[in-house]
Structures are given as structure tokens and as C-alpha cells.
Amino acid sequence: MSECEICGKEVPIPIKAKIEESILNVCDKCVHFGEKIDLPQRAAKNIKLLAKVELNEIILLENYGNIIKNTREKMKLSRTEFAQKIMEKENIIRRIEMSDLKPDNKLLDKIEIFLNINLKEKNEQKLQKKDTKKAELTMGDVVEVK
């Protein structure tokens, strides 16, 4: 059973629809929000992956600048030292700490890992649910192998 990516209703056979430049699996009611499409399997799969990436677009916590600044100060690092450690320009770090600039994914990862913090809003419950299912499946497989 799949879920409609718009309303969350369970649908046995989701319909692919192009909605605002994304390809989504939707139910028969939500298909009206966009344009129904029919794609060859492989292409559909690729586009679905792309759509997933778009869905996974990060939303930063509102006070990410403060969190970074406070954590850095707790670690007794100057802004210059911190910038050097993660190989970024101090100017960029300064702007990020002022919440004046949003780090891109790559930089965000570096900052999060280095400071051991999380700056993302948890907005991807749907994806997390899928990941959980996958994890369960893997565990089941392991048990079977034993």
C-alpha cells in the first residue's frame, strides 16, 4: 500500500502526477492538483528520486546562527579557528552565525558534524517512515539468514 504524497491517504495503485515541477504519487482525488503523467518505468523511477530530493530540501531551524555561535563558543573556538577547522572563509561563518546566510547542504553537514549539533527542522516524516520500514526489513532478513 502506498500513500498519496499530497493528502496522505492510502492508495493501492498511486497515480503519478506532475505537480509544480515535481513528480508525485497521488490518489485519484489529488491528481487534479497537477497533470497526470504516464512514464516508462525507468524514467519514472529516476524522476521519483529527483522528486524525493526536492522533498528532502532542508529547512533550517530559525535560530541556526545562534546555535552555531553558542556551540562554537562553548567549544572555546574563535570564529577564525572554527572557519579554519571546517575549511571555510571566516566571512561566511560570520554571516551564517548572524543568520544572514544559509549554509548549503555540504557546509551544513560539515558544521553539524564538527559541532555535533542538529540544525534541521524535522520535516520529512514521510521519508523517515519509509527508512524505518526499510530498517525493519533488513533486520528481518538478518534473522532469516541466521
Query: Which residues contribute to the site for Zn ion (CB under 5 A)?
Result: 4, 6-7, 9, 27, 30
Residue 123 identity:
N
Least distance from C-beta 4 to Zn ion, angstroms? Answer: 3
Cell representation of residue 141: 532478513
9 vs 79 by CB, closer to Zn ion: 9
Least distance from C-beta 26 to Zn ion, angstroms? Answer: 5
30 vs 83 by CB, closer to Zn ion: 30
1 vs 145 by CB, closer to Zn ion: 1
87: closest CA among 69, 104, 110? 110
9 vs 110 by CB, closer to Zn ion: 9
- How far from the centroid of its chain's Cα atoms is residue 55's Cα? 7
Least distance from C-beta 34 to Zn ion, angstroms? Answer: 11
Residue 24 identity:
L
Least distance from C-beta 3 to Zn ion, angstroms? Answer: 9
